[in-house]
Structure 1
Amino acid sequence: MDQPSNQDNQRLFSLLKSLQKASKDLQKIPFFSTHEPQSTVEHFLDLEKDESPVFNDDPNLFKLSQLLCDLKTKLEKLQKYQGYSLPCILRRQIINYKIYQVACAIETEIRVYFDRESVQNLVGTLEGSADEDEKVKVLDDFEKRLSQGFDIHFQDLILKAKIFSILEHVLCDPSCSIRIRDQVALVIASLVRFNKDVFVGLVLMGPTVRALISMSSCCSIRVLSLLINFIRIPLVDELEAHKEIPRIISILSSENVEIQAGAIDCILGIAYYGRREAIEAMLEAGLVEKLVKLQRLEKQSSVGENGTTNEDGSKSDPETDSNEVWSAGNCPFEGCVARFAVQLEAGEMLSKKEKIEFKLEILRRVRETSVSEAEIASIVAEVLWGSSP
């Protein structure tokens, strides 16, 4: 059988969209009414006349074609009962209810058809297309569909097509561009949000998290932060078990402020959901020392932005200062040591004794790392006043 042309596909898509809208309008016909909205009925009947030649070539539309024939019969029957006698009114209400049921079924069937096409298009494009823009577009469209909420039929299509495995393969493929892999990462996060019960296990068992850390792009680190907040304790346990926490801490050394900010969000999530071993791994990786340095650089850049003098007496120039990347408004590191301490103290997995021990350890490291008594006093005060007693 010849493949349908792009023009035929566009016509079919347009017709299905129109039928979907018409079916929604038909669902709005009140059951207890003395007459039906004539324009809605006529519009549907006009669309129904156009469907037969288009639907005959696609077996996936057979059920939809049957539903449309059934609905057409009911609409024609409805037009026969236009009187205001009690029997006519009652018959109209019964028929209206049946029309509502069939219209709902039609809308569902069209959505299933679009979902099937979406899944097939995603698989075909990721596996067979070399066009980067096309891949990004189908991934973005797929993410938007996931954002509409859980749908058991759509999930079945995703699982049968092994979408997660395909996405995971692309995410871990260094030959793919960061742009595509970033978009894949967003889709994986949307899948977890779509149904945690199914897709969390796939994330934990596979290389997804390690791939996100290895990419260390703005988007991948943001997605990692999202996954920590979605999956919580099980993901933090996996990060600690696979020694991934020091790698996350090392991202704080990135020259990209947005990546550093994403790493901070990951760290705060780990602090809240982490067990003792995870917190120890962060401290041993030099987290407090890095946070103190980031906080110091932000304060210095803020001072420089105001045009005050440096320690050597020279005037700071925000246009030429070597810390330009840390300019005010771009560095979300103010009070980051205290924010880390607060997350630890509010966390779910530490005992009261452990929280006290870790706070003392944080304060010790702050004193060792700070370059002046003023800096020590400032950060210690933030930690003590920012945390719960």
Structure 2
Amino acid sequence: MDDPPSKHRILTLLTALLEASKDLHTKTTPFSTLNPDSIDTLLNLETKAITVFSTDPNLHPLTHTLSTLKTLIENLHSCQGYNPNSLLRRHITTYKISQTAITFEAEIQAYIDRVTVHDLVTTLQQPHGEDEQVNALVEFEQRLAQGFDLGFQDLVLRAKVFTVLERTLFEPLSSKRVKEEAAVAIAALVKFNKNVFVGLVLMGPTIKALIAMASTCSVQVLTSLVRFIRSPLVDEILSHGEIPTIVGFLRLQDLSLCAAALDCVMEIAYIGRMEVVEAMFQENLVKILMELQRKGSESGDSSYDVEENRGREKYEGVEEFDAVFAGCVSRFAIQLEVGEGLTSEEKTEVKLEVLKMVKKASQSDAECATVSAEILWGSTP
């Protein structure tokens, strides 16, 4: 690879060419005039691009395509008049320009993708600063967010990016910030192609690492993976004995982590089978939720929209944060009742069990009656 300044200049130039090229097929029709601003930008960059591209063998194909594009634009300018021959030539030339522009964009994107993957792997595997590692991870996530691309997936698989990200989660020298960003990147990979990357998550130590990190971000990533992968992941969490740890997060003094854990518990309750629910009951989950609900009731605000605020890492005030826990017992019961993991008979059995636990954990008859009524008659989950 070139040194960083040269690489930066190349990527900046490629980005400018990419934008100019897009206008040549997205903003023109066969008989319209090409966007003059795009043409001017492309032609102004052409000389500089040819010089820069000559320094990297991987960019040589772009040189040929760019020259072809320039020639086609010049040919189009020569197709003046509105006689049948001129119109036909303009139609054909415009079509060729559009197709060549598409090819040019694909070649540019392929080069940028190679740089993105190479930088990510190199930055994470060799000593680099925290900011540089995080930037490489963010750029990778932004590329994944563009949607599925088979060529990019091939690059990711050949470079064993998933393995590199997974190792970063366990790397003692990696900062918490880098580990959390690597976790976010893994979730982005799963979303990029569930069929390929879900298996890697289930077979590897990713989930164990996320839980061991015990941070707000790591639990939020875990929740997003549970929401996306669903029962196979919940079963893995159960089989590895991680339910007690997740429920244990609700007892911590870190309120942000506690809220993230509550979201995770709610998601698991919606998806989990009877064995999962029983594992949560064994950890006195209902009692813990009752304690949190008392704390949340101090704010006097039960209108907090959990669904709308999922994934939030920070809360502006204690009262706003406490509102997350208001009504959490009934929300948990409703998750079980409307969820997909239990049969109808099991849902009835579990509801009665929750009511018994509420009665046992209540500090007064009034509290028991209020919470039981919310469970029986429903409340906003």
Specify if TM > 0.5: yes
CA positional deviation for 1:59:
1.8
Q: Is 1:177–2:175 an aligned residue pair?
A: yes
In structure 1, the residue matched to 2:352 is 360
- The separation in 2 between residues aligned to 1:131 and 1:34, in whole angstroms, is 50
- The separation in 2 between residues aligned to 1:335 and 1:153, in whole angstroms, is 48
CA positional deviation for 1:84:
1.7
- The separation in 2 between residues aligned to 1:224 and 1:278, in whole angstroms, is 16
In structure 2, the residue matched to 1:240 is 238
- The separation in 2 between residues aligned to 1:285 and 1:27, in whole angstroms, is 60
- The separation in 1 between residues aligned to 2:343 and 2:236, in whole angstroms, is 20
In structure 2, the residue matched to 1:322 is none
Alpha-carbon contact 1:34-1:89 (below 8 Å) kept: no
In structure 2, the residue matched to 1:193 is 191
For each residue in 1:246-293, what CA deviation from the matched residue of structure 2 results, as whole angstroms up to 9, or x when unmatched? 111111111111111111111111111111111111111111111111
Match of 1:282 among 280, 300, 305: 280
CA positional deviation for 1:76:
2.2
In structure 2, the residue matched to 1:101 is 99
In structure 1, the residue matched to 2:330 is 338
Match of 1:302 among 295, 299, 303: 299
- The separation in 1 between residues aligned to 2:258 and 2:21, in whole angstroms, is 50
Alpha-carbon contact 1:172-1:207 (below 8 Å) kept: no
- The separation in 2 between residues aligned to 1:41 and 1:371, in whole angstroms, is 75
CA positional deviation for 1:160:
0.9
SS in 1 for 2:325: coil
CA positional deviation for 1:29:
5.3
The size of the alignment, in residue pairs, is 364
- The separation in 1 between residues aligned to 2:128 and 2:28, in whole angstroms, is 51
- CA shift in 2, pair 1:209/1:47, >3 Å: same
Alpha-carbon contact 1:171-1:184 (below 8 Å) kept: yes
CA positional deviation for 1:4:
3.9
In structure 2, the residue matched to 1:78 is 76
Aligned-residue RMSD, C-alpha:
2.0
CA positional deviation for 1:212:
0.8
- CA shift in 2, pair 1:352/1:54, >3 Å: same
- The separation in 2 between residues aligned to 1:336 and 1:29, in whole angstroms, is 52
Equivalent runs, 1:61-72 vs 2, <5 Å: 61-72=59-70
Alpha-carbon contact 1:252-1:290 (below 8 Å) kept: yes
- The separation in 2 between residues aligned to 1:209 and 1:241, in whole angstroms, is 12
Alpha-carbon contact 2:23-2:35 (below 8 Å) kept: no
- CA shift in 2, pair 1:29/1:257, >3 Å: closer
For each residue in 1:273-322, what CA deviation from the matched residue of structure 2 results, as whole angstroms up to 9, or x when unmatched? 111111111111111111111112223x437xxxxxxxxxxxxxxxxxxx
In structure 1, the residue matched to 2:221 is 223
CA positional deviation for 1:50:
2.0
In structure 1, the residue matched to 2:368 is 376
- The separation in 1 between residues aligned to 2:347 and 2:372, in whole angstroms, is 16
- CA shift in 2, pair 1:292/1:43, >3 Å: closer
In structure 2, the residue matched to 1:13 is 11
AA matched with 2:167: H
SS in 1 for 2:321: coil
Alpha-carbon contact 2:25-2:97 (below 8 Å) kept: yes
Alpha-carbon contact 1:268-1:340 (below 8 Å) kept: yes
- The separation in 1 between residues aligned to 2:7 and 2:174, in whole angstroms, is 30
Q: Which runs of 5+ in 1 are unaligned?
A: 304-324
Identity within the alignment, %: 47
Match of 1:350 among 338, 342, 353: 342
- CA shift in 2, pair 1:220/1:62, >3 Å: same
Q: Is 1:141–2:139 an aligned residue pair?
A: yes
AA matched with 1:253: R
SS in 2 for 1:290: helix
- The separation in 2 between residues aligned to 1:220 and 1:207, in whole angstroms, is 14
SS in 1 for 2:241: coil
SS in 1 for 2:116: helix
Between structure 1 and structure 2, the one with the greater Rg is: 1
- CA shift in 2, pair 1:374/1:93, >3 Å: same
- The separation in 2 between residues aligned to 1:364 and 1:212, in whole angstroms, is 33
Alpha-carbon contact 1:298-1:327 (below 8 Å) kept: no
Alpha-carbon contact 2:21-2:38 (below 8 Å) kept: no
In structure 2, the residue matched to 1:206 is 204
Say which is worse superposed, 6-15 or 91-100, in terms of deviation.
6-15
- CA shift in 2, pair 1:242/1:71, >3 Å: same
Alpha-carbon contact 2:24-2:34 (below 8 Å) kept: no
Say which is worse superposed, 349-358 or 172-181, in terms of deviation.
172-181
- CA shift in 2, pair 1:378/1:76, >3 Å: same
- The separation in 2 between residues aligned to 1:373 and 1:127, in whole angstroms, is 59
Q: Normalising by the residue count of structure 1, what TM-score does the alignment of the two structures yield? A: 0.89
- CA shift in 2, pair 1:140/1:42, >3 Å: closer
